[in-house]
Amino acid sequence: MQAAASGGASSPSSDRNDEQHSIVSDLVSLIEQVQAGVKLLEAAIARETASSNQEATGNVFVLDDVTPRYVKASSELKVCHAGLGAALHHLLDTKAARHETGEVTESDRRRFA
């Protein structure tokens, strides 16, 4: 794209690399957001569990327990995380198979697999 801005034509391979880099970056960002959501839900579950345990010892019962919803949401986010990790893995394997120069290392692959 720099070549296009300077008056030259960019190569299709360069455009493909830029596009794939953009997709990989978006997937990495989504994975990080999902991981953050899982952590938030797990913290909420821990708070709810601690709160329920304290209230149960005081003979107070909570009828509207939200913990099962948190557990279900956390479970679904973990499935989403696995799917995004698989998608990223497939993109990176495709990139390696084409012998293109890569910005993503093997340690990045393991991190998001």
Please give the pLDDT value at position 87.
Answer: 93
Which token pair is 24? 């990989």
DSSP state of 65: -
- pLDDT tens-digit profile of 46-61? 887 777 666 555 565 5
Residue 22 pLDDT > 50, yes or no? yes
Give the residue-averaged pLDDT of 16-32.
92
Question: From CA 77, how far away is CA 107, in angstroms rounded?
Answer: 23
pLDDT(43) > 70: yes
Rounded to an integer, what distance in angstroms lies between the CA atom of residue 22 and that of residue 97? 18
Predicted TM-score of the model (pTM):
0.62
